[in-house]
Structure 1
Amino acid sequence: MKRRDALRNLALITGGLVLVPSCDFSKEDILSAYKNLDITPSLKQLLAEITDTIIPSGNLKGAADLEVHDFILVMVNDCIDDDGQKAFMKGLQGFEAFSKKTAGNAFSKLSSSEKEKLILDGLASEAEDQKDTKTFLGMSKRFTVQGFMMSEYIQTEVKPYSLIPGDYQGEVLIADLKTGKING
């Protein structure tokens, strides 16, 4: 009885392996974690480059190192209304075209100063055809700063968080207080 089950399972697996080469994997997959957004891996990578331009790494980790782009996608997916999500997606999908039109090259091929100038130009744009790009960049900038400041790295290593009112100290001279802790 068990031999029949084993042979049947082997036949099913073999048939499945025969059909795999006929499947079309050429289309870029849409990430399923974001139900309301049609995010592909290339768009996610572009958003990571944009966040790294907004907060680059230096003495501290940058936004891309802390994966702030995932925070942005979650916030847009869960907290923004449908019109805002559509504007965000149109801006993200049209950002490469905006980059080629404004800077003359793809965003990933620009130098860091050119990337900064491009983002500032997009935020300051008053053109009607750039409305979605401006909305996208505004949301990206706001959520990048928010996600960066709320990250575990900032809250534990850079600015250690302490609960209010903090630990009790009866008599302390003001000169002895350390300013490394922030409350709230």
Structure 2
Amino acid sequence: MKRRDALRSLALLTGGLVLVPSCDFSKEDILSAYQKLQITPSLSELLAQIADTIIPSGKIKGAKDLSVQDFILVMVNDCVDEEGQKSFMAGIKGFEAFSESSAGKAFSKLEVSQRESLLQTGLALEDEKQKHIKDFLSMAKRFTVQGFMLSEYIQTEVKPYSLIPGEYKDVLIADLKPERIHG
């Protein structure tokens, strides 16, 4: 009886070992929240670094601290047309190669000033072959600023939102001084 159990276990183990080489563990998982985009965690981290270069942290939180990269990805996934999404994906996938060719290093290994100049170079590209880099960076910049300004942190702590246009001040018309427009 024990021999049968041992043979069954050995057969299962051998079958499992045969299947292991066919499994590809090198691929990164694709984030399922963005159905129309093929975003991996490393691409999301790259986008966070780009957003943090655009709006760095200082006296107030930066774009990476507020997870603006998630806002960017949601906006591109939900609000940008299919052609724009393809251009965005081509740009984000080709950005590391652009960084290596322009600055000589991966974007994550660059100093802050080098990152800023690389982004400015990318936004000023006129080459038709690298148009997707320029399109990607302009979308990333626009949505970074929008996501940062609309974040809960900015709207509540830095620049509190006021539902009405301003305070009501009781002022008599007689107390107002006339403005001298022509003199």
TM-score, normalisation: structure 1: 0.79
CA distance in structure 2 between the aligned counterparts of 1:120 and 1:170, rounded to whole angstroms? 46
CA distance in structure 2 between the aligned counterparts of 1:53 and 1:25, rounded to whole angstroms? 32
Instruction: Provide runs of 4+ in structure 1 moved above 6 Å.
Output: none
Task: State the match for 2:66 in structure 1.
Answer: 66
Task: State the match for 1:128 in structure 2.
Answer: 128
Offset at 1:171? Answer: 1.7
What does residue range 30-179 of structure 1 map to in structure 2 within 5 Å?
Answer: 30-165=30-165, 169=168, 171=170
CA distance in structure 2 between the aligned counterparts of 1:111 and 1:170, rounded to whole angstroms? 50
CA distance in structure 2 between the aligned counterparts of 1:162 and 1:150, rounded to whole angstroms? 14
CA distance in structure 2 between the aligned counterparts of 1:172 and 1:52, rounded to whole angstroms? 46
Which consecutive residues of structure 2, in runs of 5 or more, have no partner in the other structure? 1-11, 173-183
- Letter aligned with residue 114 of structure 1: Q
Which consecutive residues of structure 1, in runs of 5 or more, have no partner in the other structure? 1-14, 174-184
Name which of structure 1's ranges 157-166 and 97-106 shifts more when overlaid on structure 2. 157-166
The CA RMSD measured in Å over matched residues stands at 2.1
Listed one character per residue, the Cα deviations across residues 104-140 of structure 1 (whole Å, up to 9, x for unaligned) are 1100000000000000000001011110000000000
What does residue range 19-38 of structure 1 map to in structure 2 within 5 Å?
Answer: 22=20, 23-38=23-38
Offset at 1:24? Answer: 3.5
Offset at 1:25? Answer: 2.5
Does the C-alpha gap of structure 1 residues 27 and 171 become closer, same or farther in structure 2, counting only changes over 3 Å?
Answer: same
- Share of identical aligned residues, percent? 68
- Letter aligned with residue 164 of structure 1: I
The number of aligned residues is 156
Q: Which has the larger radius of gyration?
A: 2
TM-score, normalisation: structure 2: 0.80
